[in-house]
Amino acid sequence: MIELKRFFKKNKFTILIVVIFIVLVIIGASLFQLLVPNTGKAIYGNRLDGKVEVTQTTYDEVVNALKQQTFVVEASTDERGKLINILVTVSDDTSPESAKTLGQIAYNLFTEEQKQYYDFQMIITKNDKEQKSFPIMGYKHPQSADFVWTKDRSNESI
C-alpha cells in the first residue's frame, strides 16, 4: 500500500496526462461519430439490394450497335447505381428525330430483367456546339413506355 502511494505521488503528472489523453480520445471519437455518421456505409444505402448485373459485353454490344449507325461519331456507356447513361456524339448534319432513334436501338439490347431494374438516360451531342437543337437528352424509367426526350429547341429564338 505504501509502495502504491509512493508510485502515484512520484508519477502524478504522468498519470494525469494519460488520463486526460484517454478522455480526449473518447471525446474525439464521439465527435467523429456525431459529425461523420455514414462512414463505412454504401453510397446508395440499400437501394441497390438485389441489383441486376450488366456485363461489360452488353455495354460493348450497345456501343458497337450505336457506332454502326452512319451518323454516330462516338458512343460510350456509364453505370451509376440504378442509372445507365448512354453518351452519344452524332455528326453535325443529323436531325434530332433521327438521333432519337438511337434510344430504342440501345434499349433493345438489354434483357427484360435489366429493363425492369435500371433507368436509362441518353445524352446526344454534336461536335458543333452552335446548333441550338442539340444537346438532347432522353430518359426512360422502367415503368414508362418509351424514352421521354427534351423539348425540341430548334425553333426557339434566343
Please report the sign of the dihedral spanned by the C-alpha atoms of residue 56, residue 62, residue 65, residue 71. Answer: negative
Are residues 137 and 60 located together in one domain of the fold? yes
Are residues 98 and 128 located together in one domain of the fold? yes
- Any domain includes 41: no
> What's residue 39's pLDDT?
67
Are residues 140 and 99 located together in one domain of the fold? yes
Mean per-residue pLDDT, 96-118: 88
Domain span holding position 81: 56-146
Euclidean distance between CA atoms 66 and 85, whole angstroms: 14
Write out the H or E segment, with its range, that includes residue 66.
Answer: helix 56-67
Cα 151-148-77 angle, rounded to 5 deg: 105
Are residues 23 and 79 located together in one domain of the fold? no
Are residues 31 and 97 located together in one domain of the fold? no
CATH of the domain at 104: 3.30.300.30
Number of domains in the chain: 2
pTM for the full predicted model = 0.66
Are residues 66 and 139 located together in one domain of the fold? yes
Q: Can you read off the three cell numbers belonging to residue 108?
A: 433493345
Are residues 72 and 138 located together in one domain of the fold? yes
Are residues 67 and 20 located together in one domain of the fold? no
- Any domain includes 42: no
pLDDT tens readout for residues 146-158:
888 887 555 554 4
Are residues 21 and 68 located together in one domain of the fold? no
- Any domain includes 151: no
pLDDT tens readout for residues 35-78:
887 666 666 667 777 788 888 998 999 899 988 888 888 999 99
